[in-house]
Structure 1
């Protein structure tokens, strides 16, 4: 489950269990509970601060817990709207945020990284990818809004309609991430970037973010329904 540590003014929120290196860090409801609780604790702090999210091992996060979804078909809409709410919260989080993408970020996990202010990605291995087109899945209007508003238009088209797997170098060239780093330096690069912005944690920061992301926030607030369900196969 997600847990946090602190490095000076920077909170580091790990997406997986402490000491675990083989988890895909999928969004099980219990995982979402712990992630939200960690954000609550971080948000309750005072003074200069910034947030970095990272994981350990092969995966940053592979996103939606598909096994749980297909075992709980009566809760699809509730679950997806909860994921959308997490994206909204990160987009307007009242301190600077940096995703340290240490491994694969697929589907909703790629969208989680895209919901941060900035992204630093491991340069030697790991992919940022939206595989929905290969899986016969539709994007919810909320997810579509996030991607269309946060990515350059042609990049969104390529990522969403081809399922391209972007390496760190590819993602940097496409404007998906802001920097790349070696595995040994990834977290320190992300923390250094975040620490330089920690003093910007003031009441006006969240207001600025809300205005900046007004359109995507409105899109993310669109409820998931039978008509726009993301998990129609084929």
Structure 2
């Protein structure tokens, strides 16, 4: 089963999740395929690149960890294997050696919201889809890397409320509360996200990566094998 498509549009990589009917949920095979794509993106030596992480589904961006998969493996597997592996991916995305934009076209729940938070910028459909950290209602905690994702979001009060109550925000409210950078119509979402990414790609990739990592020093312990800027 394929989980993603990857294409290069001028200077912008578009990595699209393609299992929206199943919520674009995460399991080990999902992370395996993501590894292949991130390896290719990081290894591209071009001086001007950016990445958009998108979904081809209007209802689901990513609903996070595949809970049915975890139940089949057991909760020990979640805490001993899957969460540490996901933590490494969050660190890798947070320190990726090019600008990253999450283009949130539908629901981003749990791990999906964390992946979006690890990106440099977030755009979201204004009238459909919600972003949510539901761990409180699932009786689960957050790992240190997941806490770093949450703390990347600039509005402390909003992120506190989201984590402690499990409240889900729609696009317009998420933008008003600085959880996402822009809330856009369905028609404008991808074109304007690509335009933003192209603008970011025009920046020198080495300088961008250096500055990003300087501003996110705590991520170093979660992304020790981060690739150089180019």
Task: Give yes or no for TM over 0.5.
Answer: yes
User: Which residue does 1:29 correspond to in 2?
Assistant: 28
Q: Does 1:5 align with 2:7?
A: yes
Aligned length in residues: 217
Provide TM-score, normalisation by structure 2: 0.88
User: Which residue does 2:175 correspond to in 1?
Assistant: 172
Q: Distance in 1 between matches of 2:118 and 2:131?
A: 13
Extract unaligned runs of 5+ from structure 1.
Answer: 222-234
Q: CA deviation at 1:201?
A: 4.1
Q: Does 1:102 align with 2:101?
A: no
SS in 1 for 2:119: coil
User: Which residue does 2:82 correspond to in 1?
Assistant: 79
Q: CA deviation at 1:23?
A: 2.6
Matching residue within 182, 187, 194 for 2:190? 187
Extract unaligned runs of 5+ from structure 2.
Answer: 224-230
Retained in 1: the 8 A contact 2:117–2:152? no
Q: Distance in 2 between matches of 1:196 and 1:148?
A: 25
Q: 1:52 to 1:206 in 2, by over 3 A?
A: same
Q: Calculate the aligned-residue CA RMSD, in Å.
A: 1.6
SS in 2 for 1:25: coil
Deviations 1:149-204 (A, max 9, x none): 43422112100011111000110011010001111221111100000111224323
Of residues 146-155 and 1-10 in structure 1, the stretch that sits farther from structure 2 once superposed is 146-155
Provide TM-score, normalisation by structure 1: 0.87
Q: Distance in 2 between matches of 1:110 and 1:147?
A: 9
